[in-house]
Amino acid sequence: MTSTPQAAVDRLTTRAEAAGLRVVAAAAWPESPADTDPPPIPGFVISTFSPLAAATATRCLTRATPPAAGAEVNERAARATPAPATPPAASAGSVPAAVVPVRRGSVSDGVAASAAGSLPGLAPRLAAARTAVVVVSAFGDVVGAMHVADVVDRGGRPGPLMFFQAVPNAVAGHVAVRWGLEGAVVCVGDVGAGVEVAGGLIEDGDADEVLVVWVEQLPDRAEAVLVAAGGGE
Amino acid sequence: MAATGMGATGGVRRGPEDVVITGVGVLSAFGDGVGPVLDAALAGRPGFAPVRRFDVAGRRTVHAAAHPGNPVLGEELVRIIGHACDEAGLNGAQRAESALYLAVHGDPELPRVPKHERAAHGADTFARGIARRAGLSGAARAYTSACVASSTAVADAGALVARERAERVVVAAGYLVEADQFAVFDAGRALARDGRVRPFSAGREGLLLGDAVVAVVVESVAAASRRGAKVLSRLAGWGRAGDAHHVCRPRPDGAGLARAMADALARADLAPGQVGYVNAHGSGSPAGDAAESAAIRRVFGEDAATLGVSSTKSVHGQALEAGALLELAVTMAALRAGRLPVNAGYLAPDPACPLPLILTHPTPSSSPHALSLTTAFGGANTALLVTTP
C-alpha cells in the first residue's frame, strides 16, 4: 500500500461523494495488521484477486446490513451456493426452464414478478433494492494471468478452474450470488469510471444501490463502497 | 424520446435525446469491414479452421475463427477506430473531442512484461494509449467485464448521450485469438471438439473463439444531423441485469437476461411483438443456450411466433470482450440489408431450446427492430435494441 487503509477508504468514499452519491457503507483490505491473506473461496485458486475482492465486498455489505440479518444471509447463502468445483462445460446439465408466456405490453411486470423473491433469506435492505456490482481493477487478476502465461509458455495445460477466474466478472458473480444482488455486473479499469458507471446506473433506474469494489494485487489492496442516490435526488 | 416508465424493476429511465450510430469499423476472421462477416452470416458459412497463429499441440480443440496472420491488437484497434470515424465523417477536431470506451481483456502484454514495467500496462493506461493514437480525447476508459464488456460500454455510451452529457462516444472492442485464453477455455472444456459452433442445436459441444476488432460511433441524433451524417442505426434501448445465481453458470430460468431485455424494450418504448430479430448470445454451450431460450420465451411468449432468432457466433465464433460489439455490427448491417443471419451448424432440435430459429437463407427481415443479447460469467446479462432508420 502507498497509503494507510483508512486513507484508502476515504479516497473511494471521497470520489463517490464528489460524484453526488451517498455512501451507505465502506470497507478496505487491509484495515489493520490482522488483515493478512483474505479468506480463500472454494473454486478460486492460485491468486488472491478474487478472495481479496470478496472479503472487502463482504465487509462493506455486512456494515450496510443489520447484524442479525447479515449473519443470516451469509450462512444461508453459503449453504445454498455450491462452489464451482468443476468447470461449467464438464458439468453442464441442460435444465429445461419453465416457459412463462408474457402478454404483449406487460413484459416488464411479468419479468419483474418472476424475478422477485427468487432468493429467499436475503437481508431486507438488499432484497428490497436492485443492487449492481462494479469491479474496478486496472490489472485484473494479474497473478492468475502470469501463472497462465507461464504454463502456456512452457507448453503446459492450465488448471480447469483458471477458465472462469481469468475475468473479474467471476468474483462479482460470487458476491452477487452470496448477497442476492440482481443488478448489472460491470468491470472497468479505473476508479473514476467505476464511480461514473455506478452513478449512471442509479440515475437511470438500473440500480437502487451499487457496490463498487476496487481491487489490485502486488501488493494486495482493495476498497469497497455501497453507494445510493445522493440526498438531493 | 421521453423517459419511459415501464421498467422491469421499479422503472428504468433514460435521457431525452435520441441516440444513433453513425460509423462502424470491423475486423473479423472474414477480413476488414462488416460486409464479409455479414455475407458469411447471411449464408450460414462458418469461418472455423485449425489455429495456426500459435501452437495448439496438446489442446483438446484446435479450431477457431481467426484472421490469417498474427495481427497486433493495439494496431488493429487504432486502425478500426479510424474506419468507424471515417464512415461517420468525423474530422480531426471532432475526433479529438470524443471519448473512447474500450472493451478489452486488458493490455495483452501485461502477463509477460518485466516486473518493473508492469505499472505501465494497466487496462486503463492501454485504453488511454489507444485513444491517443486514434486521435480521440484523453477521456478513455476500459471495460473488462468479459463477454458483456462491449455491450456494457455501448449501454453506458447510449445512456450518456441520451442524457446529453456528451454528443458522441466512440466505443471500441478487441479480442484476437491468442494462446492464453485458448488454453484456459480448452482446459475448462468449454470449446467444441467437433470444430463447429451449433447454437441451440441437439449435439452442440460448446463454443469456439473468434477474432473481432470493432468500433462504433455512438452519437446524439442532433449532433449527427448538424454534421449531415448518415444514420446507420438508432440505439433505441439497452438493459443490464445480473443472475445472482452462480459464478459461471447461467440461471436456468433466464430471469436475469429477461430483465435486461425488458429494460431495453422499456427504454425503446416497444412491445416484444414489434421486434423481428434476436441475435442471441447462443454460445453453443449446453446450459447457456437452454437458459437463453427460457429467457427469450419468457419475454416474447406467444409473440415468438413472428420472431427470428439466430446466433451469429455460429459463423464468427466467440470474440469474448469484443463479441457483443461484433454481433451488434452484424445485426445493424443485417437490418439494413433486409435479410437475417442464419443459425449455422444446426443438426436437430433440442427440446430445451424451443426457439423460432432462422435455418434457411435468404430470410427477409420483418421488422426494423432487433435485439442483440449477451451473457457472461458472473451472471451478467445485457440486451441492446437497435432500429434501422
Q: Which residues of B touch A197 (CB under 8 A)?
A: 156
Q: Which residues of A touch B265 (CB under 8 A)?
A: 107-108
Q: Helix, strand, coil proportions of chain A in percent (round to 5)?
A: 45, 15, 40
Whether residue B286 sits in one domain with residue B190:
no
The number of C-alpha atoms within 13 Å of B388 and in the hemisphere containing its C-beta is: 20
Residue B139: exposure state from Cβ atoms within 10 A (0-12, 13-18, ≥19): middle
CB atoms within 10 A of CB B389: 12
CB within 8 Å of chain A, chain B residues 325-384:
350-352, 354, 376-380, 382
Place of cell 472497468: A188
Whether residue B245 sits in one domain with residue B219:
no
Q: Which residues contact B89 (CB under 8 A, 6 or more apart)?
A: B22, B23, B227, B228, B229, B230
CB contact under 8 A, A89 and B190: yes
- Domain end, chosen from B227, B245, B269, is at B227
Whether residue B240 sits in one domain with residue B221:
no
How close are the terminal C-alpha atoms of chain A, in Å?
A: 35
Given a contact cutoff of 8 angstroms between Cβ atoms, the answer to whether B187 and A163 are in contact is yes
Nearest CA among B277, B282, B245, B240 for reference residue B262 = B240
The mean pLDDT value for B48-58 works out to 96
Nearest CA among B289, B263, B389 for reference residue B343 = B289
The mean pLDDT value for B189-200 works out to 97
Whether residue B310 sits in one domain with residue B211:
no
Whole-number Å distance between alpha carbons of B373 and B147: 10
The mean pLDDT value for B231-242 works out to 98
Q: Which residues contact B60 (CB under 8 A, 6 or more apart)?
A: B186, B189, B191, B193
Q: Helix, strand, coil proportions of chain B in percent (round to 5)?
A: 40, 20, 40
Q: Which residues contact B3 (CB under 8 A, 6 or more apart)?
A: B13, B14, B15, B16
List C-alpha distances in Å: B224 to A119, B26, B197.
Answer: 45, 21, 38
Strand B212-220 and strand B19-28: the pairing is antiparallel
Question: SS3 for A34?
Answer: coil
Structural domain tally of chain B? 2
Pairs across A and B, CB distance < 8 A = 329
Residue B38 pLDDT class (50, 70, 90 cuts): very high
Any domain includes B99: yes
The number of C-alpha atoms within 13 Å of A71 and in the hemisphere containing its C-beta is: 2
Long-range contact pairs involving B48-56 (C-beta distance under 8 Å, separation at least 24): B48/B195, B48/B196, B48/B197, B48/B208, B48/B317, B51/B177, B51/B182, B53/B177, B53/B178, B54/B178, B54/B179, B54/B182, B55/A155, B55/B179, B56/B182
Q: Pull the grid cell for residue B128.
A: 488511454
Residue B304 pLDDT class (50, 70, 90 cuts): confident
Name the residue in chain B with its Cα closest to that of A100.
Answer: B298
CB contact under 8 A, B7 and A205: yes
How far B355 CA sits from the closest chain A CA (Å)? 11
Q: Pull the grid cell for residue A27.
A: 470497507
Whole-number Å distance between alpha carbons of B230 and B215: 16
Asked if B389 has any chain A CB less than 8 Å from its own CB, the reply is no
C-alpha B60: how far from chain center: 27
Give residue A131's pLDDT: 96
Any domain includes B116: yes
CB contact under 8 A, B118 and A142: yes
Give residue A65's pLDDT: 82
A192-208 burial code (b ≥16 CB/10 A, e <16): ebbbbbbbbbbbbbbbb
Number of H helices, E strands in chain B: 11, 15
- Domain end, chosen from B227, B247, B268, is at B227
Complex ipTM over 0.90: yes
CB within 8 Å of chain A, chain B residues 131-160:
141-146, 148-149, 152, 156, 159-160
Q: Which residues of B touch A82 (CB under 8 A)?
A: 246
Q: Please indicate whether residue A83 or residue B192 has the higher confidence score (pLDDT).
A: B192
Residue B323 pLDDT class (50, 70, 90 cuts): very high
Segments forming the whole domain that contains residue B67:
19-227
CB contact under 8 A, A107 and B242: no
- Domain end, chosen from B227, B259, B283, is at B227
Give the CATH fold of the A5-82+120-229 domain.
Peroxisomal Thiolase; Chain A, domain 1 (3.40.47)
Any domain includes B12: no
C-alpha triplet B272, B276, B280: angle, nearest 5°:
85
Whole-number Å distance between alpha carbons of A210 and B190: 31
Which of A45, A111, A136 to mutate to probe the B interface, most B CBs <10 Å? A111
Any domain includes B10: no
CATH number at residue B143: 3.40.47.10
Place of cell 408466456: A101
CB contact under 8 A, A93 and B127: no
Q: Please indicate whether residue A85 or residue B271 has the higher confidence score (pLDDT).
A: B271
Whether residue B253 sits in one domain with residue B161:
no
Number of H helices, E strands in chain A: 10, 5
Whether residue B375 sits in one domain with residue B279:
yes
Place of cell 463479441: B323
Any domain includes B260: yes
Whole-number Å distance between alpha carbons of B359 and B354: 14
Any domain includes B14: no
Per-residue pLDDT of chain A (233 residues; tens, 9 = 90+): 334 445 556 688 999 999 999 999 999 999 999 999 999 999 899 999 999 999 999 999 999 986 654 444 443 344 334 333 333 333 332 222 222 222 222 233 333 323 333 333 445 555 556 999 999 999 999 999 999 999 999 999 999 989 888 899 999 999 999 999 999 999 999 999 999 999 999 999 999 999 999 999 999 999 999 999 996 54
Given a contact cutoff of 8 angstroms between Cβ atoms, the answer to whether B134 and B112 are in contact is no
* Single-letter residue type at A125: R
Whole-number Å distance between alpha carbons of A28 and B213: 37
A137, A158, A176 ranked by CB distance to B244: nearest: A176
CB within 8 Å of chain A, chain B residues 85-114:
105-106, 110-112
CB contact under 8 A, A157 and B271: no
DSSP letter at A97 equals P
Please tell me the pTM assigned to this model. Answer: 0.90
Given a contact cutoff of 8 angstroms between Cβ atoms, the answer to whether B229 and B88 are in contact is yes
Give residue B144's pLDDT: 98
Instruction: Give the bridge partners for B387, in sequence order.
Output: B234, B369
Q: Which residues of A touch B253 (CB under 8 A)?
A: 97-98, 114
Whole-number Å distance between alpha carbons of B67 and A49: 33
Asked if B211 has any chain A CB less than 8 Å from its own CB, the reply is no
* Single-letter residue type at B200: F
Whether residue B247 sits in one domain with residue B187:
no
Whether residue B252 sits in one domain with residue B199:
no
Whether residue B294 sits in one domain with residue B264:
yes
Whether residue B86 sits in one domain with residue B210:
yes
Which of B4, B143, B144, B200 to mutate to probe the A interface, most A CBs <10 Å? B144
Instruction: Give pLDDT tens digits for B131-188.
Output: 999 999 989 999 999 999 999 999 999 999 999 999 999 999 999 999 999 999 999 9
The mean pLDDT value for B8-28 works out to 90
Q: Which residues of A touch B192 (CB under 8 A)?
A: none
Whole-number Å distance between alpha carbons of B18 and B32: 29
Whether residue B31 sits in one domain with residue B144:
yes
Whether residue B301 sits in one domain with residue B198:
no
